[in-house]
Chain A
């Protein structure tokens, strides 16, 4: 009996101590981790979406709530102090998991400024080619209603990686829905 008690007490003490220590560490490190993710994951994608930005899109980001209750981070693109476009991220299922795409929208005519892939688990050397400029540059200046050429659109898919290409299209469309829903709020916030 004493042995069982001591086992229970020691094990619970160790586990609760580690639980508290970890939840404290998780809370204190959360803002740091968010900043790191923005710098190393979203940052390069945003830079490829609008290389000519004169502001710091990551530092000026704002969270918005979509009508269906999700929280979307919006990154503004300014030139000469004027808001020209915004970028926001969305995802769609690909071959190996979700493909996350940062999509830039031109506020003037609702067309695309460009896209950048932030996260994906596609097949290396095949599906991952959707992140290369050869594929992504097709979206620059395109209308937001993109579609693969196989389905009557203008975007040529990466050969051998149709599912990955379709996932990028899906993510762009999902981002466009968010953009349409949030456009009024976005204009209010920055202008």
Chain B
């Protein structure tokens, strides 16, 4: 039980996909015009990720090493088509909003990344916990980015007006550049928090916070 919690909780902060793993950025940037869309996309990813991790982990011993990537893709593609059909059948307005990004979940690096890095090496229950954790982390991140953009760009949150009356929306936040502004600011904020935490504990500063250049941006004067 403790190990399952460990695998689940790492997805929520230490390995939260768009901010720490910096994976799955395409949908993070493209569909987060509103908190609703972010949440819907996140739920679709949770569904695909948990099931693909479970299936892949269950068959990991019989998959020959040389064709493992093809097998992983076949499994996750099946699940993505399933999610697309289910979304059309039960949540058509969401499908209209997300459009092409639903089928594109299949090339989302998170799915293949977790399959290769985790599910192919670990038992089913841990893989499910891992998929759930990463998926929930991804959903939280998308919803947060979506909420920020929707709030600043339209003054609304989940479709309800929440800002003060004379608030002038920043139209740019719901356009494409707003996605970069929102994601970049959140990445920077997360790195700041990590650095402050590390200082408090008196640890060494982590050199490479994200896989990219994230670390350098937040601690210019040391």
* Chain A residues within 8 Å of B, Cβ to Cβ: 3, 6-7, 10-11, 14-15, 18, 21-22, 25-26, 29, 32-33, 36-37, 39-40
Assembly CA distance A150 to B88 (angstroms): 41
Q: How far is the CB of B86 from chain A (nearest CB, A)?
A: 7
CB neighbours of A26 from chain B (8 A):
85
Assembly CA distance A32 to B86 (angstroms): 9
Question: Contact between B92 and A36 (Cβ–Cβ < 8 Å)?
Answer: yes
The answer, yes or no, to whether B81 is at the interface (CB within 8 Å) is yes
The answer, yes or no, to whether B75 is at the interface (CB within 8 Å) is yes
Question: Contact between B64 and A7 (Cβ–Cβ < 8 Å)?
Answer: yes
Assembly CA distance A10 to B74 (angstroms): 12
Contacts A14-B74, A15-B74, A40-B93 known; A25 to B85 CB distance under 8 Å? yes
Q: How far is the CB of A35 from chain B (nearest CB, A)?
A: 9
Assembly CA distance A30 to B71 (angstroms): 27
Contacts A10-B63, A11-B71, A18-B75 known; A40 to B90 CB distance under 8 Å? no
Q: Chain A interface secondary structure, helix, strand, loop or mixed?
A: helix
Question: Contact between A29 and B85 (Cβ–Cβ < 8 Å)?
Answer: yes
CB neighbours of B92 from chain A (8 A):
33, 36-37, 39-40
* Chain B residues within 8 Å of A, Cβ to Cβ: 59, 62-64, 66-67, 70-71, 74-75, 77-78, 81-82, 85-86, 88-90, 92-93, 96
Partner of A29, one of B62, B67, B70, B86: B86
Question: Contact between B85 and A11 (Cβ–Cβ < 8 Å)?
Answer: no
Partner of B82, one of A6, A7, A22, A36: A22
Question: Contact between A33 and B89 (Cβ–Cβ < 8 Å)?
Answer: yes
Contacts A21-B82, A22-B81 known; A11 to B70 CB distance under 8 Å? yes
Assembly CA distance A6 to B61 (angstroms): 12
Question: Contact between A10 and B78 (Cβ–Cβ < 8 Å)?
Answer: no
Question: Contact between A33 and B67 (Cβ–Cβ < 8 Å)?
Answer: no
Q: How far is the CB of A154 from chain B (nearest CB, A)?
A: 33
CB neighbours of B66 from chain A (8 A):
3, 7
Q: How far is the CB of B173 from chain A (nearest CB, A)?
A: 18
Q: How far is the CB of B51 from chain A (nearest CB, A)?
A: 11
CB neighbours of B62 from chain A (8 A):
10
Q: How far is the CB of B186 from chain A (nearest CB, A)?
A: 27
Question: Contact between B88 and A36 (Cβ–Cβ < 8 Å)?
Answer: yes
Q: How far is the CB of A28 from chain B (nearest CB, A)?
A: 9
Contacts A29-B88, A36-B89, A37-B92 known; A10 to B82 CB distance under 8 Å? no
Q: From A37, which residue of chain B is reached at the shortest CB distance? A: B92
Assembly CA distance A33 to B88 (angstroms): 6
Contacts A10-B63, A10-B67, A25-B82 known; A32 to B89 CB distance under 8 Å? yes
Question: Contact between A29 and B78 (Cβ–Cβ < 8 Å)?
Answer: no
19 A-B interface contacts by CB (under 8 A): A10-B62, A10-B71, A11-B67, A18-B77, A22-B81, A22-B82, A22-B85, A25-B81, A25-B82, A25-B86, A29-B85, A29-B86, A29-B88, A32-B90, A33-B88, A36-B89, A36-B90, A37-B88, A40-B93
Q: From A40, which residue of chain B is reached at the shortest CB distance? A: B92
